[in-house]
């Protein structure tokens, strides 16, 4: 189980490094868009976009966020209950 958790953590790390690298090379104007949003606004937009994508029947476009969410939940639960990392004393 520990190997599976490390593999999932590595995949998530690569994904987030790729996403962060894209944000480093894009110009600031492209990142902010027409208006800046608060974090809660972005979450609401992401949930709405996912629901809309699923409602239109385009399941393939919703698979990537679903897989990332499932991998994150697997790592969180695994490190919390199944194979927690040793605590420092």
Q: What is each CA distance from 7 to 66, 79, 84, in whole angstroms?
A: 18, 13, 15
Write down the pTM of the prediction.
Answer: 0.64
Q: What is the pLDDT of residues 27-72, one digit of tens each?
A: 767 766 666 666 677 677 777 877 888 888 878 887 888 888 889 9
Q: Is residue 18 part of a domain?
A: yes
The pLDDT assigned to 36 comes to 67
The H or E element spanning position 44 is: helix 39-55
Q: Is residue 88 part of a domain?
A: no
* Range(s) of the domain holding residue 67: 2-82
Q: Is residue 87 part of a domain?
A: no
Q: What is the pLDDT of residues 11-25, one digit of tens each?
A: 999 999 998 888 788
Helix, coil or strand: residue 84: coil
Q: Is residue 70 part of a domain?
A: yes
Q: Is residue 89 part of a domain?
A: no
63/89: higher pLDDT: 63
The pLDDT assigned to 17 comes to 92
Using an 8 Å Cβ cutoff, are 12 and 68 in contact? yes
Looking at the structure of the chain, the number of domains it has is 1
């Amino acid at each position: 189980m520990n190997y599976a958790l490390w593999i999932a953590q590595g995949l998530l790390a690569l994904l987030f490094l790729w996403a962060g690298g894209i944000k480093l090379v894009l110009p600031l104007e492209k990142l902010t868009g027409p208006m800046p949003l608060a974090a809660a606004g972005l979450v609401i937009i992401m949930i709405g976009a996912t629901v809309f994508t699923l409602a239109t029947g385009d399941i393939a476009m919703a698979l990537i966020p679903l897989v990332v969410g499932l991998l994150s939940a697997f790592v969180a639960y695994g490190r919390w209950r199944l194979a927690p990392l040793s605590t420092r004393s």
